[in-house]
């Protein structure tokens, strides 16, 4: 189970997050998996043919440039921030 933190909508009173989290025990505990400065993770998707591959849509800072803005793909559950798909 995964969760991306931060709102996916740009609005004046938005809440920012600090990355992607994964739970291996049904949500009882969570481990931070990366994209700390992504601030807004709009969507996460697990590849239905490969449960170890996660995709993340990262909006980044709402009102300025952000190095973590983009679409990300991971080859393992341990590191969702690796393997950036070209923007």
Alpha-carbon span 50 to 40, nearest angstrom:
25
8-57 residue pLDDT tens:
777 777 888 999 888 989 999 999 888 888 899 989 998 899 877 889 99
Q: Is the pTM of this model over 0.75?
A: yes
Give pLDDT, residue 44: 92
34-46 residue pLDDT tens:
888 889 998 999 8
Strands (E), 29-77: 31-34, 41-46, 54-58, 70-74
């Amino acid at each position: 189970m995964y969760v991306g933190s931060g709102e996916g909508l740009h609005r004046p009173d938005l809440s920012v997050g600090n990355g992607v989290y994964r739970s291996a025990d049904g949500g009882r505990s969570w481990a931070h998996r990366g994209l700390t400065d992504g601030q807004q993770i709009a969507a996460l998707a697990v590849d239905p043919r490969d449960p170890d591959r996660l995709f993340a849509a990262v909006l980044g800072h709402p009102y300025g440039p952000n190095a973590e803005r983009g679409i990300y793909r991971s080859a393992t559950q341990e590191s969702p921030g690796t393997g950036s798909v070209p923007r």
